[in-house]
Structure 1
Amino acid sequence: MRIGVAVGEYAQDIYGAINSLSGMAADFVDIETDPTPYGILVAVDDAPLPPAKNVRRYVTKQDTDAEEWAVVASRNLLCEAVARGNQYPIAVALPTPAYHLSQPAPSGVAIVGPDLGEKLTAALRAVKIELLHFENEDVGIVIDPSTSSRQSNLKLIRQCMSKERVIVAMQSNSTASDNIQNSSTGRLASGPEEIIQIVRDLVHDDYERQRLGFEAKKFVASTSWSRVVRALLLGGRKGLPEFELLSQPVAKRRWDARLGHAHKWQTAKYGNGQLRLPEEHLDLGELGPLRAMNLKKIIGEPDPRKAAP
């Protein structure tokens, strides 16, 4: 089958995913292309397509004007898709490139979005939290104070999560709450006062900030353009794929496992830069800084009364 792909944002990703499927071939098309040779025409958001019957769109923005909302990038868009006449829309999360980080999530704070921006900025500065430019490499906490999904940027949220930046957003913002599991892949707040308290805690808690960032990156990596294309090419599918639900205890267990069996050192005695068990010892000076820091956090502050002789 030949499939026409509208030129626009994400077109190259969809084009590559289609051509990787057996028996499928994709071509780029525009509004002046003859649609006759193509079994299906696909596009993202309002990318222009020639008039045709079998048009399917992957919608990532709530203000998209086109009617063919076949697949949406977030569950909060499903109701709008049905309202536009799509009986069985499918939700497939927006794929986001993976970013390689040279350091764990830092403690810098940035704010994006229009809602409450100025008031929140003043309130944060009043508690001695300085805000950095969003593109600054020292930003590890990003605040999205938008109170509704229409003011929030899905692409920006998922890019931050892929970079292990912790998103702090409003619970009333369904774009954020559909992508963030509170205390697992980010933080959700009921109001500006709670946002300020959450940010103050995260700035001073390296362990929790890095855990949330790690979980966020893992969460956004669970989708791909191949999944988007398969959803676009399916007809008459019923049912919706569920987003992964991660409870805080499960997230903490997975994070602890990443540290390399750190839990067994909880009962160790600490002294002279070493952890000691009856038949084993570990020199913290030989570890990387991240693992050494987290091991120290797990066992707590050194107690001279328990120090090894």
Structure 2
Amino acid sequence: MNFLLETLRLIVLTIYYHMEAFIKLIVPQRKKDVSGEIVLITGAGSGIGRLMALEFAPLDVSLVLWDINVDGLKETAKQVKEKGPSRVHYYQCDCSDREVVYQVADQVKSEIGDVTILINNAGIVSGKRFMDTPDALVEKTLRVNAMSHFWTYKAFLPAMTDKNHGHLVSVASSAGLIGVNGLADYCASKFAAVGFAESVALEMIAAGKEGIKTTIVCPYFINTGMFGGCGTKWPRLMPILEPDYVAKRIVSAILTDQVYVLLPRSLYFLMALKGSPWPPDPVCILTSTALKDSGDQD
């Protein structure tokens, strides 16, 4: 009897959560007020990181920008100041180095305050086939794309849990959900980032810290230069995404406490098909063949 009741409960909850997710997908959600929040963005010296900073600029937040590229940080800070009232601070930080992350994090906490919105965005890609990728480059990819999330969480999550207030954002990739030919180290790092973010989110819920939100972003490949030379065979189904669009969608998701952001939306459908018991997985084949020349990057 207990088994039947638990099974029925599981079915009802599954239907309920799917209906809730569908409604939230099509009905505009009210955006929260983030004025006064301290927003840290890693990889803010260019690309999506810079564009997210510009999206936050009019929202009266304190922006903390991290990147290894100081010139890029200066340019981002300049553009932010021109666009809105948000305060902006920037720090050079090599996110692949744990001790540097902790050191710069302590500096931020003493000079600015406790970060309340943490956006792990820094990322690199080798673009080489697995056997052609030097060990040092594999390790670098994993440190920047995944391990840096561990260190930033360790640095800033304690203050969030003390106040039961904060938002953790992981800018991962569709390659963190579906394997891609020629990007083994990149996929591994992004799978790690997604799994880590999901696990910590569940820890927060189990601990009763529901004031700490999580957003996991999994876009298809973005036209930022990281995947230069790549195209798509099916531009309507799996388009190469424009950076401005992705940045706007990420910030909108943060403001509405959206947990998962899959771009383009066709990824939601593809993920529902993933896991076919008949190898090879058709979704993996589809996404890998959609990206032209992914294994031919230098």
TM-score, normalisation: structure 1 = 0.31
Highest relative contact order (Cα 8 Å, sep 6+), 1 or 2? 2
Q: Which structure's residues are more often helix, by fraction?
A: 2
Q: Which is higher, the Rg of structure 1 or of structure 2?
A: 1
